[in-house]
């Protein structure tokens, strides 16, 4: 989706810490970039793994301007990786996605609309 540009203040930031998930990362990233809500950013945190996960993620980032990659200086685990991404996030709301999991393609839109329509947390 090269034509899509990252918005300065997207509706949702999807945060994905990545550590040795080469087998799953493509399905995870496909589910993030193909969300029906397009006004998103995807923040991938490189947590210093030893497989090809980040090579795959970097290929996705070349083709989608909404993807931002940040790199930890050493392995910090998922909790700290998520916190590091929160500091880099511009979204109105955050979605945390594990790199060995995936989202329903309507997940961000449903959650965003529920929050906006309901005026509160879901």
pLDDT digits (tens, 9 = 90+) for 77-111: 999 999 999 999 999 999 999 999 999 999 999 99
Task: Taking residues 20-48, report their average pLDDT.
Answer: 98
- The side-by-side arrangement of strands in the sheet containing 40-46 is 67-71, 40-46, 12-18, 93-96
**How confident is the model over 11-29, as a mean pLDDT?**
98
111 Cβ neighbours under 8 A, 6+ residues apart = 12, 93, 95, 122
Q: How many CA atoms, within 13 angstroms, populate the side-chain half-sphere of residue 52?
A: 7
How far is 44 from 54, CA to CA, in rounded Å?
9
C-alpha–C-alpha distance, residues 49 and 63, integer Å: 22
pLDDT at residue 18 tops 60: yes
- The contacts of residue 50 (CB under 8 Å, 6+ apart) are 20
């Amino acid at each position: 989706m090269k034509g899509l540009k990252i918005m300065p203040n997207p509706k949702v930031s999807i945060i994905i810490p990545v550590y040795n998930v080469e087998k799953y990362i493509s399905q995870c990233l496909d589910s993030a970039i193909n969300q029906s809500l397009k006004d998103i950013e995807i923040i991938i945190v490189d947590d210093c793994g030893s497989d090809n996960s980040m090579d795959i993620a970097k290929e996705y980032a070349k083709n989608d301007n909404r993807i931002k990659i940040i790199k930890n200086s050493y392995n910090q685990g998922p909790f700290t990786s998520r916190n590091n991404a929160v500091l880099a996030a511009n979204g109105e709301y955050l979605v945390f996605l594990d790199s060995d999991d995936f989202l329903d393609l309507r997940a961000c839109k449903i959650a965003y609309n529920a929050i906006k329509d309901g005026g509160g947390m879901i």
